[in-house]
């Protein structure tokens, strides 16, 4: 038990010093096991009698894994992986570059230092319960207490091929056998006997130091991170940090012998004087925590630091000098290096340049240009200003509608999505989907006056007619926040369907229609059924839910001035027949739904036989109710719909035609579409001036607003919102992703099935292997880059393969992307970021339920004490940091429709936001994975779990 | 006799009687005011009944919940909504999307108007905008599908189930289970649920009443000091029995029903009610709803009972005699019957399952339909005889004053 933990008897003076250092830290922790860190392991696992295991580790890349996150290459890899944080703080990066990076604070003993990179306990498990010598000498007992003996698959969790790394780093592909040789650390069966003589030789030759040594790990408390130029990491990657460790090598031993040093060089002052800071001084010369084995540390050049290291002293140069801070000079280096072993002359300047560690701040942010990416827009009630929510620049651009000049740009929250005004025009409201906030802006001053917390990933925002209530759609939480406009307090939260997107108030102010992007959950082999949620604006309550059958991706919505109906944009995805039906115009059709006030719904397509109308995104109507304008982000057009003709056509049709024929008719739109107007790239939001003369369209991917003259029905101007001129490769890839140019008759884009890189919530029949065979749930693209292979079958080894030939064969049915297009597309897809986890903020402690769930996730025994075989443990197939082993497994989920019984292991990052689950989307909730689809414990041993344990497990899964 | 036994005996013989004495002294301070037999409570005389013939999906009415003009009715085979303005009843059965036929509990979220259904064997459902969202033990974290009680606490929904209580956070989606592992539940069979003043009260079959403080997340239990005995050894010393069927907390007063009597607790004093020494028609209570600290309605197997005025221990019990097609309202004070008033038929069956207070009105679920008592002229507590002289009775009713 932790309270009774006894550290091994140490044999050397160094170890005694360490024991003193860490002895004070062995106070009881309330929970176990905890990570103790490599330095505690080294108490027994160093020196010749232990085969210099500690030094062997210190010479491997594992020991500098954390430090390497300071490299420019790491920043680039993070960028390629869509990781918005700096690598040395990013959970995913740290997961493979540091031990226990994802552990809570209590799980790390005071002796544990994350800066030591990949340490013993990454492979062998947290050591607090098995580290005692008597336990370690009993392998069975040690393993009972958590000691793990890793296999090659343990290594592959991190060392499996990763596109992001391969794209940046040169070098040989990872060879497991070679790697295992590199890190081999056998313990000699017959240890040499000279060890016991070394302490007398190394200690006290120089007596006490005038100032005490504090050690590099003390210095690093201030001298790490980008703001200090990553000074610690630079040292750690340099030869000085390895200077002590190299003395443990056979080469060093041989060299020492040639120099007349007999025995262990790590115990010889003759060697240590140049290989370890502080060598030769007595024990009183060292602060607790100093570790001689850190080699040549800061204090070799800057002087023993205990007296000058306090920040107040360091900031006062004369005081620091008086307290022992030295200015390094050539003599300090030449003392050791002129007598070096290399034989080559020592060049001071070159050497100094090599170890240079200026404390000037290092930029770790993305080098990508900051685009605007306008998503939605709105006119002030007086029509004088056009406000444009720009997702990528986290700003709202204000345009003068008289001059079409940009007036100002207002910094708001992260990824603003929609903008709306109070009816009196005094305030504007902008939703920020990254931050889960609503920015409240004074229209006159253009200043943000308040920021209000709302639900997850807010999208649409709208005021009621009196301007008293603000409705905000929480797209990732399937809810509406209702906020008092005066107090800015949220008064209630209403339940929508899945991923509410946009909303519109009826002309009489009585009803609000809300579109939901994803279909309700439907049984297998059932078309999507999407919902328009109806809010009673007087009560602020859900009044009704209108179903739009066969449709999904309901996004834009606008009421007709008559108040008799509203129109929504939609897709009609034919996911139940193989996607290869594209040539018949029968894969994804695009159009609008007329949602009548009483709940009846008509659907018409805006596709035409020769060219489709992909990704209908938003809609507006003229105040006379004659025209509707609909954006197609996949084809860069606006459709001008003559509503009189449309309603006339519907009125003349039979009920049977309106229900079955017209919703799928590819030629009907020729009867009521007056014109298609070309816009900029990827038009999304659209709005109209109150005089019906001018329409404004937000072109998401070229940072412009198209101005359409409604009398001429043509675009008359493009307003430049001020984005960068340079189109980066990533931006180009984003444009390709959102363009339907790649598909036959431009029926759909990548975005059609992966709206904004995420999911459409649909299970597809893709391949022409029979109707309904091999159904596959759509998987998110957020943060997928290093999770290859792709597809549920795991057959596609790379994104380029997935998006290249495979896409052409099964989806687009025309010439595939060119190699350069593919590169750009791949780059974009890899940079689609994972949103911040909504169930556990970065670095936040786990809740009690999450903590208990983690124990279930990592458990090795059933509730009855039975050992769970490794392949029955959650963590075995879903190991961090990606939470997938990237292998295929049979988890007992094969259905009669599946030809194969093994499926790719999905990553679990933000798993809570991509329901349904399993390869065929049959599990509508995480619970169902185990309550309905794990009868024989093939998907982890879970049938012994109590209901509360399963709840805890799910709470933990949601934090990943 | 060893020392330990001697100490116990001394405790029983001296300390406990002293405690009783202290209680009497305390209660003396709150002694009932002087009233005359002519000081009487309001009696509901205007009743309306609803059965399947009127549009209910089933006559076994387990739960009623009022939300403004809407009255939600949970039955053994369906959910119904009665519009008070029009009298129209709309119902939902399984073929209409109701996830499970037996609706045993109802709660309406006061902010959103969402209706939460506890279903006996079917779990929990949210009814919103005509859509049922079904939460059960296979697709959610609900601990058990046999749900007896539902209540709303802030953004959380509590479900009292046969295998513990579940708390569902509607914002985060987190389910928390309370059983013997993390709550003082000697038994985990939860019957009733009530939320008020930052505390959730659970009526637990075999574990009395459990109080959960939302802020501190601490539990407090109210158990029968007499253990599991079905007699009340020392009266007014706690809840009368641990087989708890209902709880209602209003005006800082907790009302509790069991299958062996009922209790009231004002934070300082307990009061037990039994058929033998109060106006209660039965010791078998299915549920309780309080209107105030002085007034509560008990759903019993032998009629609808009301503590009409706590300080004077005045009760009114409503029953219907179907053979004669008449109703009775029996007014008692202590163990004395003050008046037996013949009134029109009131509750459609004397086996009462649920009572819902709707302002001055009542809705009563029974095993043979729903009743609505209209409280025109309602007054709380008693009306002094001296005041009645100037008051015109809404309707002359035959009475039988006095009695033993």
Does B141 contact A493 at a Cβ distance shorter than 8 Å? Answer: no
A948 and B112 in contact by Cβ < 8 A?
A: no
CA distance A703 to A391: 10
By C-alpha distance, the chain B residue nearest A912 is B173
Which of A494, A533, A928 is opposite residue B112, by nearest beta carbon?
A: A494
Sheet containing A479-484: order of strands: A458-463, A469-474, A479-484, A490-495
- Closest chain A residue to the Cα of B110, Cα to Cα: A492
Q: Angle between the A848-857 and A947-957 helix axes, to the nearest 10 degrees? A: 100
* Partner-chain contact B141 A950, CB within 8 Å: yes
Residues of A in contact with B155 (CB under 8 A): 493
Domain assignment present for A452? no
Contact B350, B371 (CB under 8 A): no
Is position A737 within any domain? Answer: yes
**What are the residues whose beta carbons fall under 8 Å from the beta carbon of A138, sequence distance 6 or more?**
none
Q: Are residues A331 and A241 in the same domain?
A: yes
User: Looking at the predicted structure, is the pLDDT value of residue B392 above 80?
Assistant: no
- Tell me the percentage of chain A whose pLDDT exceeds 70: 95
> What is the band of A85 on the pLDDT scale with cuts at 50, 70, 90?
confident
Contacts of A136-143 spanning 24+ positions with Cβ under 8 A: A136/A44
Starting at the edge strand found earlier in the chain, the sheet holding B131-135 runs B103-108, B115-119, B123-128, B131-135
Residue A105, phi then psi, degrees to nearest 5:
-60, -40
Looking at the structure, tell me whether residues A338 and A202 fall in a common domain. yes
**Cβ pair B130:A932 closer than 8 A:** no
Note whether A926 and A885 are same-domain residues.
yes
Strand bridging mode A588-596 / B296-300: unpaired
Which chain B residues touch A477 with a CB distance below 8 Å?
A: 171
Q: Which of A226-235, A349-358, B307-316, B374-383 has the lowest mean pLDDT?
A: A349-358
B176 contacts in chain A (CB < 8 Å): 849, 951
Q: Are residues A416 and A432 in contact, defined by beta-carbon separation less than 8 angstroms?
A: yes
Q: Which residues contact A130 (CB under 8 A, 6 or more apart)?
A: A136, A141, A142, A143, A145, A146, A147
Contacts of A837 in chain B (CB under 8 A): none
Tokens of A267: 């115990």
* Same domain flag for A214 and A340: yes
**Backbone angles phi and psi of A72, in degrees to 5:** -60, -35
In a domain, A406, yes or no: no
Residue in B111, B131, B177 closest to A491 by CB: B111
Residue A31: pLDDT above 60?
yes
b/e per residue A123-158 (b: at least 16 CB within 10 A): bbbbbbbbbbeebbeeeeebeebbbbeeeeebbbbb
- Domain range for residue A946? 848-957
Among chain B residues, the shortest Cα distance to A478 is held by B171
How many domains are there within chain A? 4
Long-range contacts (CB closer than 8 Å, 24 or more residues apart) made by B382-388: B382/B35, B382/B39, B382/B40, B382/B41, B382/B308, B382/B309, B382/B312, B382/B314, B383/B39, B383/B40, B383/B41, B383/B42, B384/B35, B384/B39, B385/B36, B385/B38, B385/B39, B385/B40, B388/B38, B388/B40
Backbone angles phi, psi at A818, to 5 degrees: -70, 165
Q: In sequence order, which ranges of B301-397 are alpha helices (DSSP H)? A: 385-388
Count other Cβ atoms within 10 Å, centred on residue A284: 10
CB A786 within 8 A of CB A584: no
Strand bridging mode A683-688 / A694-699: antiparallel
| Contact (CB<8Å) A948/B143 | yes
Residue A497 located in a structural domain: no
Q: Mean pLDDT for chain A?
A: 91
- Cα separation, A147 vs A673, in Å, equals 70
Instruction: Tell me if A603 sits within 8 A of A551, measured CB to CB.
Output: yes
C-beta atoms surrounding A196 within 10 Å: 11
Report d(CA A63, CA A53) in Å as an integer.
12
A545 in contact with B, Cβ within 8 Å: yes
Between chain A and chain B, how many beta carbons pairs sit less than 8 Å apart?
74
- How far, CA to CA in Å, does B214 sit from each of A62, A932, B153, B173, B199? 47, 33, 9, 18, 6
CA-based nearest distance A823→chain B, Å: 39
Q: Are residues A819 and A902 in the same domain?
A: no
How close does chain B come to A196, measured CA to CA in Å? 55
Residue A533 to residue B129, Cβ atoms within 8 A: yes
Q: Taking CA atoms, what residue in B is nearest to A497?
A: B131
Give the span between the Cα atoms of A716 and A914, in whole angstroms: 41
Could you read off the pLDDT of A6-29 as tens digits, one per residue? 333 333 334 333 333 333 333 333
Residues of B in contact with A531 (CB under 8 A): 131
Are A740 and A749 in contact, with CB atoms under 8 Å apart? yes
A928: domain CATH number is 1.10.760.10
Q: Are residues A924 and A788 in the same domain?
A: no
Any domain includes A599: no
Residue B390: its pLDDT value, please?
Answer: 52
Binary contact (B129, A912; C-beta < 8 A):
no
Mutate to test the interface with A, among B128, B146, B188 (most CBs of A within 10 A): B128
Interchain pair B129, A932: CB under 8 A: no
Chain A hits for B112, Cβ within 8 Å: 492-495, 541-542
Residue for token pair 């339907």: A740
d(CA A537, CA A505): 8
Give the C-alpha separation, A72 to A913, whole Å: 32
Among A138, A173, A208, give the residue marking a domain's end: A173
**Domain contains A912:** yes
Residue A200 has pLDDT above 70, yes or no: no
Lowest mean pLDDT across A241-245, A450-454, A519-523, B13-17? B13-17
**pLDDT at site A761:** 94
* Mean pLDDT along residues B115-133: 98
Q: What is the largest CA-CA distance in chain B?
A: 75
Total count of residues recorded for chain B: 404
B129, B137, B163 member nearest A534 (Cβ): B129
Check CB contact of A926 with chain B, cutoff 8 Å. Answer: no
Residue B4 pLDDT greater than 70, yes or no? no
**At the topology level of CATH, where does B36-401 sit?**
Methylamine Dehydrogenase; Chain H (2.130.10)
Which of A493, A928, A958 lies nearest to residue B171, judging by beta carbons? A493
> Residue A931: closest CA among chain B residues belongs to which residue?
B138
Contact (CB<8Å) B130/A545: yes
The answer to whether B141 contacts A494, with C-beta atoms less than 8 Å apart, is no
Assembly ipTM: 0.88
Residues A49 and A164 in one domain: yes
Cβ contact, residue pair A542, B128, below 8 Å: yes
Report whether pLDDT(A4) > 90. Answer: no
CB contact under 8 A, B113 and A539: yes
Lowest mean pLDDT among A100-114, A355-369, A887-901, B61-75: A355-369
Quick one: closest CA in A to B171, which residue?
A477
- Pick from B128, B130, B176: CB nearest A495: B128
Q: Is the Cβ pair A542, B126 closer than 8 Å?
A: no
Burial of A733 (0-12, 13-18, 19+ CB in 10 A): buried
Residue A194 is predicted with a pLDDT of 59
- Which residues in B lie closer than 8 A to residue A541 (C-beta atoms)? 112-113
Query: CB contact, 8 Å: A841 with chain B?
Result: no
Angle at alpha carbon of residue B141, lines to B138 and B143, rounded to 5°? 85
How far are the Cα atoms of A117, A178, B158, B184, B243 from residue B200, in angstroms, in the given order?
A: 48, 62, 9, 14, 18
Where residue B388 falls among pLDDT bands split at 50, 70, 90? low
User: Is the separation of the CB atoms in A483 and A452 below 8 Å?
Assistant: yes
Print burial letters for A614-647: b (CB count within 10 Å at least 16), e (below 16). Answer: bbbbbbbbbeebebbbbbbbbbbbbbbbbbeebb
CA-based angle B133:B136:B139, to the nearest 5?
85
pLDDT band at A332 (very low <50, low <70, confident <90, very high): confident
pLDDT-based confidence at residue A713 (cuts at 50, 70, 90): very high
The DSSP output letter for A818 is P
Closest CA to A553 of A536, A534, A568: A568
Residues A600, A606, A607, CA angle at the centre, nearest 5°? 130
Tell me if A810 is assigned to some domain.
yes
Q: How far is A928 from chain B (nearest CA, A)?
A: 5
Interface test with B, best of A948, A953, A954, A959 (most B CBs within 10 A): A948
pLDDT at residue A170 in the model: 85
Burial status of residue B316 (CB atoms within 10 A of its CB: 0-12, 13-18, 19 or more): buried
For B157-179, what is each residue's pLDDT tens digit?
999 999 999 999 999 999 999 99
**Pair (A23, A166) in one structural domain:** yes
Which of A11 and A948 is assigned the larger pLDDT? A948
Q: State the residue for tokens 């909303």.
A: A503
Name the interface residues of B facing A (CB cutoff 8 Å): 111-114, 126, 128-131, 133, 137-141, 143-144, 155, 163, 170-177, 179, 181
User: What φ, ψ does residue A570 adopt, rounded to 5°?
Assistant: -160, 165
CB A805 within 8 A of CB A760: no
Contact: B112, A542; criterion CB under 8 Å: yes
User: Does the pLDDT of residue B398 top 60, yes or no?
Assistant: no
The answer, yes or no, to whether residue B19 has pLDDT greater than 70, is no
- Pick the residue from chain A with its C-alpha nearest to B156: A493
Contact flag A539-B139 (C-beta cutoff 8 Å): no
Choosing from A331, A362, A393, the residue where a domain stops is A362
Q: Mind listing the pLDDT tens digit for each residue in B324-335?
A: 999 999 999 999
Q: Does A950 touch chain B (CB under 8 A)?
A: yes
Six token digits for residue A704:
């412009």
* A67 lies in the same domain as A167: yes
Q: Assess if residue A913 is contained within a domain.
A: yes
Distance CA A550, CA A530 (A): 8
Give dist(CA A651, CA A644) in Å, integer: 10
Domain closes at, from A830, A861, A887: A830
Q: B112 and A491 in contact by Cβ < 8 A?
A: no
CB contact under 8 A, B112 and A955: no
- Could you report the per-residue pLDDT of A263-276, keeping only the tens digit for each? 899 999 999 999 99
Residue scoring higher pLDDT (B108 or A815): B108
Report pLDDT for A155: 92
- Residue numbers in A near B116 (CB within 8 A): none
Is the pLDDT confidence value at A72 over 80? yes
Which residue in chain B has the smallest CA separation from A957? Answer: B174
Of A541, A839, A928, the CB nearest to B113: A541
In the numeric block, the tokens 């609505």 are attached to B372
Smallest Cβ–Cβ distance between A932 and the set B138, B163, B181 belongs to B138
| Full DSSP string of B22-34 | HHHHHHHHTPPPP
Q: Cα(A502)–Cα(A473) distance, rounded to whole angstroms?
A: 7
pLDDT at position A575: 93
Same domain as A857, residue A797: no
Cβ–Cβ under 8 Å, residues A105 and A80: no
Is there a single domain that holds both residue A357 and residue A221?
Answer: yes
Q: Do B171 and A495 touch (CB under 8 A)?
A: no
List the structure tokens of A710.
């409604």
Q: What is the pLDDT of residue B3?
A: 39
Residues A273-283 as b or e (16 or more Cβ within 10 Å = b): bbbbbbbbbee
Task: State how far the Cα of A697 lies from the Cα of A706, in Å rounded to an integer.
Answer: 5
Q: How far apart are CA A575 and CA A587, in angstroms?
A: 7
Contacts of A493 in chain B (CB under 8 A): 111-112, 155, 170-171
């Amino acid at each position: 038990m932790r309270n009774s933990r006894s550290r091994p008897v140490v044999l050397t003076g160094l170890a005694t010093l360490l024991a003193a250092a860490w002895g004070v830290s062995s106070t009881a922790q309330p929970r176990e096991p905890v990570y103790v860190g490599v330095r505690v392991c080294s108490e027994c696992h160093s020196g010749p009698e232990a085969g210099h295991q500690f030094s062997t580790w210190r010479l491997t890349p594992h020991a500098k894994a954390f430090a390497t996150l300071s490299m420019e290459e790491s920043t680039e890899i993070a960028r390629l992986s869509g990781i918005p944080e700096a690598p040395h703080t990013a959970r995913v990066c740290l997961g493979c570059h540091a031990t226990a990076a994802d552990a809570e604070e209590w799980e790390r003993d005071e002796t544990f230092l994350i800066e030591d990179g990949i340490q013993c306990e990454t492979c062998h498990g947290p050591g607090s319960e098995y580290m005692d010598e008597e336990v370690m000498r009993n392998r069975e007992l040690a393993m009972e207490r958590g000691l793990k003996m890793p296999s090659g698959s343990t290594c592959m969790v991190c060392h499996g091929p990763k596109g992001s790394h391969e794209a940046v780093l040169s070098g040989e592909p990872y060879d497991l056998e070679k790697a295992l040789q590199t890190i081999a650390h056998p313990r000699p069966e017959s240890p040499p006997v000279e060890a016991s003589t070394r302490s007398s030789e190394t200690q006290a030759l120089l007596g006490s130091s005038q100032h005490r040594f504090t050690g590099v790990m003390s210095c690093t408390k201030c001298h790490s991170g980008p703001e200090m130029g990553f000074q610690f990491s630079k040292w750690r990657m340099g030869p000085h940090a390895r200077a002590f460790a190299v003395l443990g090598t056979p080469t060093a031993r041989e060299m020492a012998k040639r120099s007349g040093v007999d025995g262990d060089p790590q115990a010889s002052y003759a060697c240590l004087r140049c290989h370890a800071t502080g060598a030769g001084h007595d024990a009183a010369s060292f602060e607790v925590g100093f570790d001689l084995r850190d080699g040549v540390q800061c204090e070799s050049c800057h002087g023993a630091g205990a007296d000058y290291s306090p920040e107040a002293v360091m900031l006062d140069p004369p005081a620091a000098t008086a307290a022992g801070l030295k200015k390094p000079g050539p003599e300090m280096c030449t003392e050791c290096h002129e007598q070096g072993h290399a034989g080559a002359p020592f060049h001071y300047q070159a050497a100094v340049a090599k170890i240079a560690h200026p404390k000037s701040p290092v930029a770790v942010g993305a080098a990508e240009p900051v685009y605007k990416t306008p998503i939605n827009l709105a006119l002030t009630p007086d029509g004088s200003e056009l406000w444009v929510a720009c997702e990528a620049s986290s700003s709202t651009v204000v345009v003068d509608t008289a001059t079409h000049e940009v007036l100002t740009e207002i910094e708001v929250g992260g990824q603003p999505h929609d903008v709306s005004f109070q009816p009196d025009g005094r305030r504007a409201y902008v939703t920020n989907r990254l931050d889960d906030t609503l920015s409240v802006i004074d229209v006159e001053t253009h200043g943000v006056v308040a920021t209000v917390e709302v639900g997850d990933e807010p999208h649409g925002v709208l005021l009621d007619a009196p301007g008293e209530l603000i409705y905000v759609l929480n797209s990732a939480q399937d809810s509406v926040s209702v906020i008092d406009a005066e107090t800015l307090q949220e008064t209630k939260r209403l339940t929508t369907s899945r991923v509410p997107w946009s909303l519109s108030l009826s002309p009489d102010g009585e009803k609000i229609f809300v579109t939901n992007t994803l279909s309700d959950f439907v049984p297998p082999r059932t078309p999507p059924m999407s919902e328009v949620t109806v809010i009673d604006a007087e009560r602020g309550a859900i009044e009704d839910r209108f179903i739009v059958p066969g449709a999904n991706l309901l996004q834009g919505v606008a009421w007709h001035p008559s108040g008799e109906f509203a129109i929504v944009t939609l897709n009609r995805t034919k996911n139940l027949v193989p996607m290869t039906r594209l040539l018949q115009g029968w894969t994804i059709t695009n159009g609008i739904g007329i949602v009548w006030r009483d709940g009846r719904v008509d659907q018409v397509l805006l596709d035409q036989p020769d060219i489709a109308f992909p990704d209908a995104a938003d809609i507006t109507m003229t105040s006379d109710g004659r025209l509707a304008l609909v954006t197609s982000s996949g084809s860069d057009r606006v459709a001008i719909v003559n509503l009189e003709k449309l309603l006339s056509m519907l009125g003349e049709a039979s009920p049977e035609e309106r229900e079955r024929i017209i919703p799928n008719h590819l030629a009907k739109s020729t009867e009521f579409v007056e014109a298609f107007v070309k816009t900029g790239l990827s038009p999304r939001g659209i709005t109209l001036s109150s005089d019906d003369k001018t329409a404004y369209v937000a072109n998401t991917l070229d940072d412009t607003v198209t101005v359409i003259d409604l009398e001429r029905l043509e675009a008359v101007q493009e307003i430049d919102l001020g984005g960068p001129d340079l189109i980066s490769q990533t931006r180009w890839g984003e444009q390709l992703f959102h363009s339907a140019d790649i598909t036959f008759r431009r029926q759909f884009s990548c975005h059609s099935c992966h709206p904004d890189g995420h999911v459409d919530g649909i299970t597809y029949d893709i391949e022409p292997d029979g109707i309904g065979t091999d159904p596959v749930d759509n998987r998110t693209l957020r943060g997928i880059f290093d999770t290859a292979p792709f597809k549920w079958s795991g057959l596609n080894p790379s994104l380029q393969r997935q998006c290249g030939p495979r896409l052409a064969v099964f989806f687009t049915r025309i010439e595939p992307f060119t190699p350069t297009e593919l590169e750009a597309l791949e780059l974009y897809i890899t940079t689609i970021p994972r949103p911040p986890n909504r169930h556990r903020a970065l670095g936040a402690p786990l809740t009690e339920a999450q903590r208990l769930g983690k124990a279930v996730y990592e458990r090795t025994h059933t509730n009855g004490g039975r050992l769970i075989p490794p392949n029955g443990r959650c963590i075995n197939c879903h190991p961090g940091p990606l939470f997938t082993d990237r292998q295929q497994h049979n988890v007992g989920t094969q259905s009669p429709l599946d030809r194969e019984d093994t499926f790719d292991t999905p990553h679990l990052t933000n798993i809570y936001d991509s329901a349904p689950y399993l390869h065929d989307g049959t599990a509508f909730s995480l619970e169902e994975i185990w309550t309905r689809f794990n009868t024989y414990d093939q998907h982890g041993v879970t049938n012994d779990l109590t209901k509360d344990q399963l709840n805890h497990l799910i709470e933990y899964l949601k934090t990943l | 006799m060893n020392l330990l036994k001697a100490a116990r005996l001394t405790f029983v013989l001296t300390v406990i009687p002293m405690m009783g004495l202290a209680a009497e002294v305390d209660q003396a301070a709150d002694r009932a005011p002087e009233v005359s037999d002519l000081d009487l409570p309001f009696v509901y005389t205007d009743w309306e009944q609803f059965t399947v013939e009127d549009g209910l999906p089933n006559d076994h009415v387990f739960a009623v919940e009022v939300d403004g003009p809407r009255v939600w009715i949970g039955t053994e085979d369906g959910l119904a909504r009665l519009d008070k303005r029009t009298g129209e009843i709309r119902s939902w059965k399984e073929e209409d999307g109701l996830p499970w036929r037996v609706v045993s509990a109802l709660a309406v979220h006061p902010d959103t108007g969402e209706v939460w259904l506890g279903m006996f064997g079917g779990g929990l459902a949210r009814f919103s905008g005509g859509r049922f969202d079904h939460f059960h033990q296979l697709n959610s974290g609900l601990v058990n599908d046999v749900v007896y009680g539902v209540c709303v606490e802030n953004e959380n929904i509590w479900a009292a189930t046969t295998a513990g209580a579940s708390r569902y956070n509607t914002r985060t989606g987190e389910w928390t289970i309370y059983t013997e592992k993390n709550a003082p539940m000697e038994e985990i069979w939860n019957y009733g649920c009530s939320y008020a003043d930052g505390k959730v009260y659970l009526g637990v079959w075999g574990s009395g009443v459990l109080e959960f403080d939302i802020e501190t997340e601490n539990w407090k239990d109210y158990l029968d000091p007499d253990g599991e005995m079905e007699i009340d050894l020392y009266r007014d010393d706690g809840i009368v029995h641990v087989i708890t069927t209902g709880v209602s907390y209003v005006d800082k007063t907790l009302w509790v029903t069991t299958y062996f009597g009922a209790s009231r607790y004002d934070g300082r004093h307990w009061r037990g009610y039994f058929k033998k020494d109060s106006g209660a028609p039965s010791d078998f209570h299915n549920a309780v709803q309080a209107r105030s600290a002085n007034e509560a309605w008990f759903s019993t197997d032998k009629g609808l009972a009301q503590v009409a005025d706590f300080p004077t221990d005045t009760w009114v019990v409503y029953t219907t005699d179907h053979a004669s097609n008449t109703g009775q309202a029996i007014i008692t004070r202590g163990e004395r019957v003050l008046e037996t008033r013949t009134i029109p038929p009131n509750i459609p069956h004397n086996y009462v399952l649920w009572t819902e207070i709707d302002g001055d009105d009542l809705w009563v679920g029974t095993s043979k339909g729903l009743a609505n008592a209209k409280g025109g002229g309602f007054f709380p507590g008693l009306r002094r005889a001296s005041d009645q002289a100037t008051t015109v009775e809404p309707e002359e009713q035959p009475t039988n004053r006095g009695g033993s």
